[in-house]
Structure 1
């Protein structure tokens, strides 16, 4: 579904991504693990068109998208849940969800998808008229994910969904990630909590200083001394 081939990304003169390649197959959850500043967020921002690579190509469903605008990328079926949630604090929960569907015209489909979001996140239905800025951190994360789903994506980019959440809520968010994937949405997940990330992923890539240094199935990476010492506290 997605192929990233040898991309280089710079912030000014600083190179953030150095020849990164990876692929995501339809129906998978693929996770990226790595320390802060390794380039994981930059990679998601590049896939969603917020940054353009200096070199290399990004191919989504057979189409090259490395020079495409973020809006056109959403139209193609890629939604991005950014790090830090980035909800619209002054809008209600319902209005935030409507913003997720701003490119769509199918009113009945939008209504059905809103119901689907409320089924996944019952807390959001209870808070439907509430200003989004007054929600708890966990509720804001649910809203950011719900808003992305309102675009009816084929590929969901999730950046640090567990950041700042209590352990019990982290479990809830990850069980919902599995449910979203079970419903047919392919997921590329960036997550600092390597234990949780590997527990839901079909495959994983380890990124260090802008390069992929390891990749494989979660059970293989669990056994890697490098992964154990750096990310699993082993």
Structure 2
């Protein structure tokens, strides 16, 4: 991969859960302006990778850099301030807060009130349904709307990199299509995306570059269209 616009670099990363070696020396690069996807079966270590980038899980060894700055094991709130946001698996919205209050929580590290107002309008333009439901409690939204809220909340920190963990999980096919269209739009407006997704076909359709993760090891990487056409990937993840 090109190094000149590298925004995120993971080098020789190891992560353990007690005696279990979850991540075994992986290297990942994300270039500015790209959508990079990490595909793999359940339990391959995809979520652990994202959680380690934002210090929800501690790295045993290895280096994580944002631009030129090392951020390995830097506290999570500081990482958000530096420009990485995570929309977690399972959405984890605040169900007792309104849509508006959930979005406000996404901007909690920021003090630029005028820009925050502009970003509300931006996320409402991306997700018109959230604008319609801004006074509703998060817990009353449909699954698809909650997923949109989780993504919008992450965007409210105005990240350099938006990390999405299984955004299509549990959604009807039509909604999956809509969510991926929105991911493309977010990217086209300048946000770099690191996408973890079990729906390998949908992920490879939107991504520029892809990594295949199997039991904590990267077994393959390359331009997303090449990975999509690889016979082993087709057999394992794309239904032959």
Interval containing the TM-score (normalised by the shorter chain):
over 0.9
Could you tell me how far apart the structure 2 residues matched to 1:222 and 1:123 are?
33
Aligned pair partner of 1:11 in 14, 17, 23: 17
User: How far apart are residue 2 of structure 1 and its match?
Assistant: 0.5
2:146 corresponds to 1:134 = no
Q: Deviations over 1:13-70 (max 9, x none)?
A: 1110000111000000000000000000000000111112111100111111112000
Could you tell me how far apart the structure 2 residues matched to 1:179 and 1:220 are?
23
Could you tell me how far apart the structure 2 residues matched to 1:60 and 1:192 are?
25
Q: Return 5+ residue gaps in structure 2 as ranges.
A: 1-6
User: How far apart are residue 221 of structure 1 and its match?
Assistant: 1.0
Aligned to 1:183: 189
Residues 205 and 225 in structure 2, CA contact (< 8 A), matched pair in contact too:
no
Aligned to 2:40: 34
Aligned pair partner of 2:52 in 38, 46, 56: 46
Could you tell me how far apart the structure 1 residues matched to 2:73 and 2:199 are?
32
Could you tell me how far apart the structure 1 residues matched to 2:234 and 2:11 are?
28
SS at match of 1:31: strand
Aligned pair partner of 2:118 in 112, 117, 125: 112
Aligned to 1:81: 87
Q: Deviations over 1:66-106 (max 9, x none)?
A: 12000000000000000000000000000000000001111
Q: Return 5+ residue gaps in structure 1 as ranges.
A: none
More displaced 10-residue stretch of structure 1: 223-232 or 87-96: 223-232
SS at match of 2:186: helix
User: How far apart are residue 176 of structure 1 and its match?
Assistant: 0.3
Aligned pair partner of 1:165 in 161, 171, 190: 171
The Cα RMSD (Å) is 0.6
Give the TM-score normalised by the residue count of structure 2.
0.97
Give the TM-score normalised by the residue count of structure 1.
0.99
Could you tell me how far apart the structure 2 residues matched to 1:146 and 1:154 are?
14
Aligned pair partner of 1:124 in 115, 122, 130: 130
SS at match of 2:111: coil
2:158 corresponds to 1:156 = no
SS at match of 2:210: strand
Aligned to 2:4: none
